[in-house]
Every structure is written in C-alpha cells, then in structure tokens.
Chain A
Amino acid sequence: LAKTTQPISMDSYEGQEVNITCSHNNIATNDYITWYQQFPSQGPRFIIQGYKTKVTNEVASLFIPADRKSSTLSLPRVSLSDTAVYYCLVGEGIYGGSQGNLIFGKGTKLSVKP
C-alpha cells in the first residue's frame, strides 16, 4: 500500500489560498490520488482525483509533479466554511493490487480564521 504523509494541522485566514501537500514516496504505477473533505459528524466528501500534472474543478486544484511522489491540494480563497479535515488517499482500487485508496489516515485539520 502506498503510505501517505500529511501535516496534522494547518491554519489560514479567510480569503487566502491554502495548499496542503501529501507525500506518497512509494506510489505505484496504477495508483490514483484522491482527496476528501470531512466536517464533524459527517461522512467524507470527495473533492478531487488525479493521476498526473494538474486537475481543476469548481472546488479545488490538484497539482502532481512528474515523479508523482507528492501531491498538493490547492483551495483558492478559503472561507470559514472550509474548516474541516482533508484526507489524501493513494491507490488503485479493489480490483488492483493496491487498495490504499480505501485507507484513510488522520488527515490534515484545516482551521480557517476570520
């Protein structure tokens, strides 16, 4: 399983861009990188997924360097409502040899202040 390492916590202020980096040095060829957001007492919510380079949707951007050993989730202009725990998962899925995308660590607790 590709193990991931994220900062335990981060602080930011409203309106700032937040970048959360995840390290996954032993990522496998078929592994995808997936990020989730979780609010207290709710299930995680899928944010974004990518394999290489850059992926952008209406919520966030995901930057993946060529060696794929890390990835960065970028949240533009955060608000108080972005305060949550963010999880980085790396894996191929049930049918592949790597099920790391089913393994949630402790994530990064982002606190956005006014």
Chain B
Amino acid sequence: SQTIHQWPATLVQPVGSPLSLECTVEGTSNPNLYWYRQAAGRGLQLLFYSVGIGQISSEVPQNLSASRPQDRQFILSSKKLLLSDSGFYLCAWSFSQGNQPQHFGDGTRLSIL
C-alpha cells in the first residue's frame, strides 16, 4: 500500500527566515504530487503540482517555490518568509493515470512570528 510522509508537524519561524518542508511518498512510482495551503477557517488553496521529476506547475504567484528532486520527493521552500505565509501546509499524491483522487499527508502547521 501507499503511504505519504510529511514533516515537520509544526514549525515556528521568524519573519525573513528560510523554509523547507519535505514530503515523501512510498509504495508507488511516478505519482502526481501537490502542495496545498489552508488558512484558518478557509478551504485549501492549491500552490503547486508536479507530474514528474523536475516538472513543477505553480498555481498562484507567491513567496514560495517547489522542487521535485526525486520521483517520490516533493519540497516546498522559501528564501524569506512573510507573516502571510502562516498556515497549514498539506502535501498530497495521486496516481498519474486518469482521474484519480488525492491522498493527503498529515500537514505542517507553520507559524510566522
């Protein structure tokens, strides 16, 4: 079976500091990978998705970037965090064929001070 790991679970960072969140998937090859952000009391906002190594699609302009250095590894980064980057960050994967549902990790709660 497939599993998704996302860490850390919580993170407190000062404004202007860098960020690196990591997500890995096990049990499948060539998955589609996704990063979402959820602000308090709101729906999920799709940030990035990837259909293969080195292939990143950005859905909204922002202070964040994503990379996929390996088939089952997806990294969310920032060089300088803003207060507005606070939120709940979720990584997800889906099978690459056809219309497949997404499977989410447990998320990272990011607080910017």
Contact = CB atoms under 8 A, between A and B. Distances in A.
Interface in A86-112: 87, 91-96, 101-107
A3 to B, nearest CB: 13
A46 B105 CA distance: 12
A42 B36 CA distance: 13
A43 B104 contact: yes
Interface residues of A, number: 25
Contact of A32 (B42, B99, B102, B103): B99
Interface residues of B, number: 24
A45 interface: yes
A104 to B, nearest CB: 4
Given A93-B98, A94-B32, A41 B103 contact: no
Per DSSP, are chain B's interface residues mostly helix, strand or loop, or mixed? strand
A49 interface: yes
Per DSSP, are chain A's interface residues mostly helix, strand or loop, or mixed? loop
Contacts of B84: none
A103 B99 contact: no
Contact of B43 (A43, A91, A101, A106): A106
Contacts of B43: 87, 104-107
Contacts, number: 52
Interface stretch (B13-21, B44-52, B64-72, B74-82): B44-52
Contacts of A106: 42-43
A34 interface: yes
B42 A94 contact: no
Contacts of B100: 93
Contacts of A102: 34, 46, 49, 102
Given A46-B103, A101-B101, 10 more contacts: A36-B101, A42-B107, A43-B90, A44-B90, A46-B101, A92-B99, A93-B100, A94-B51, A103-B46, A104-B46
A-B residue pairs, 4 tightest by C-beta: A43-B104, A104-B44, A46-B101, A93-B99
22 contacts: A34-B101, A41-B88, A41-B107, A43-B92, A43-B107, A44-B44, A44-B102, A45-B104, A46-B101, A91-B99, A92-B99, A93-B98, A93-B100, A94-B32, A94-B51, A96-B99, A102-B49, A103-B46, A104-B36, A104-B44, A104-B45, A107-B43
